[in-house]
Amino acid sequence: MPQEHNYWLTTVQMPVPPEEPLPESADVAVIGAGFTGLSAALALAKRGAKVAVLESETIGWGASSRNGGMVLTGLKLGVNKLISTYGSELARRMYAASLETISCVERIVKEENIACDFARTGHLEVACKQAHFDDHARQVEVIAREFNHQLRIVPRHELRSEIGSDIYFGGMVDEISVGVNPARYVAGLGAAVMRAGARICEHTRLLNIGREARNGAFGFKLNTSRGSIWARDVLVGTSGYTGGATPALRNKIIHASRRADGWHLLCCRIRWARCCYGELAGSENGAVDRGREDGQSVCGDSVPRRAARALQRQAVVPAIGGRVL
């Protein structure tokens, strides 16, 4: 049986916080040392707040180092559904926020000098059916008109110039999307948080939270596997790892299976394919392929292993020979 491992973690050495007792108090306790928690801790610490990050495992242990490395524009809902659900004005603000997130990540990378292979590669979303391609064309028109953001349609006969394949019905390109090495990015965030003066407390599992006043100030007492800490404010950034300590949030989380398979590319055979130079490609069925200059492609999808193997046989670039790690 082949062994599964996290490819990204083989490319970086995670920072290790000093082993110190849990602080007695903090202005803000941040739960989770992933993208969300560390980004918040960095911003707060730079503004002078005393911050403690409580992490049940280690920096970046969860999904922050286990993803496809894609920083994309837009939202999960299609633009027409977005507008019909929330109205034009709110939809515009939401879409603008998605564009700003890319600039935000770029700003953090530059300010903190994080070596994470950040590149505005753009991303290509391919259509598995003619109906999907027709929807792409409609979305391009709506996004240009409503959100003043330009995307490009790639008809089927031009798709081979993008990915070396015409297996799909065409695609839609957004040139400003970004590819990163997520493990290097979260490692850089962790190091930046510690430089800013915040404490990262690894192997500190939150057990429960209760309201408690201290010295006339309202706040919260957090009981953890390593003792208790009082904080004036609490920020929870646990996403899919939200547990019983925050039941109101846990009840809002729906867990979904997702996997990431790494393929070794025969790059000499597809050097002419655009995705080989780093374009991010995805399809309506959830599969994505990220070509890398170093000859590695990382594919993430929402299907089990046997389906992942079927996807491998009909990859975005069919000329690829590879293996599931």
Q: Rounded to an integer, what distance in angstroms lies between the CA atom of residue 210 and that of residue 224? A: 12
Q: Rounded to an integer, what distance in angstroms lies between the CA atom of residue 319 and that of residue 254? A: 37
Give 117's contacts (C-beta < 8 A, 6+ positions apart): 179, 180, 181, 184
pLDDT in tens, the chain (325 residues): 666 778 899 999 999 999 999 999 999 999 999 999 999 999 999 999 999 999 999 999 999 998 989 999 998 888 999 999 999 999 999 999 999 999 999 999 999 999 999 999 899 999 999 999 999 999 999 999 999 999 999 999 999 988 888 899 999 999 999 999 999 999 999 999 999 999 999 999 999 999 999 989 999 999 999 999 999 999 999 988 888 888 888 877 766 655 444 433 322 222 223 333 344 555 444 433 334 444 444 444 344 555 555 545 555 444 444 433 3
User: DSSP letter at 285?
Assistant: T
Pick the CATH number of 70-180+256-313 from 1.10.287, 1.10.20, 1.10.730, 3.30.9: 3.30.9
The answer to whether the CB of 154 falls within 8 A of the CB of 124 is yes
* Strand pairing report for 51-54 and 199-201: parallel
Domain 8-67+183-250 has CATH 3.50.50.60: yes
The helix/strand/coil state of 278 is coil
Q: Rounded to an integer, what distance in angstroms lies between the CA atom of residue 71 and that of residue 322? A: 25
Domain with CATH 3.50.50.60 in the chain: 8-67+183-250
In 169-182, which positions are buried (b, 16+ CB within 10 angstroms) versus exposed (e)? Answer: bbbbbbebbbbbbb
Domain with CATH 3.30.9 in the chain: 70-180+256-313
